[in-house]
Amino acid sequence: MNPRETDRRRRILLSLQGALLGEVPPALRGVTVGWDERSIRIIAYFDGEISEEDRESMACVETEVIADFPEGEEIRLDSVRRDAPAAMETLNEWVYLRREPLLLSS
């Protein structure tokens, strides 16, 4: 990873971690983020039905991230229902992961 890519990664992760402060509801299983030179994609995975309050919290997170980047940057946050223990798709990085019991197969 070159210095420019490292700086972009750092800026994205710090922005998203800051935006999540005070907005993480109990049903949130994980938040993953992916990016390229001009866009950022965020997926927030929820356990169970996603409430209107949870959607509003994720809209606040998205707004905070948008505010940290220049106009023209495409930023999208999708809230997805993925009940535990279903696997969650990973983009570039995990920003948040809820502790969940490990499932042991016999």
- Residue 99's pLDDT is 93
pLDDT score, position 70: 95
E strand intervals along 1-106: 28-35, 39-46, 74-81, 93-97
Superfamily name and number for 3-97 = ANL, C-terminal domain (3.30.300.30)
Mean pLDDT by 10 residues, the chain (106 residues): 94 98 98 97 99 98 98 97 96 96 57
Domain ranges of the chain: 3-97
* Burial grade of 82 (CB within 10 A; 0-12, 13-18, 19 or more): middle
The per-residue pLDDT for 103 is 55
Predicted confidence at residue 56, as pLDDT, reads 98
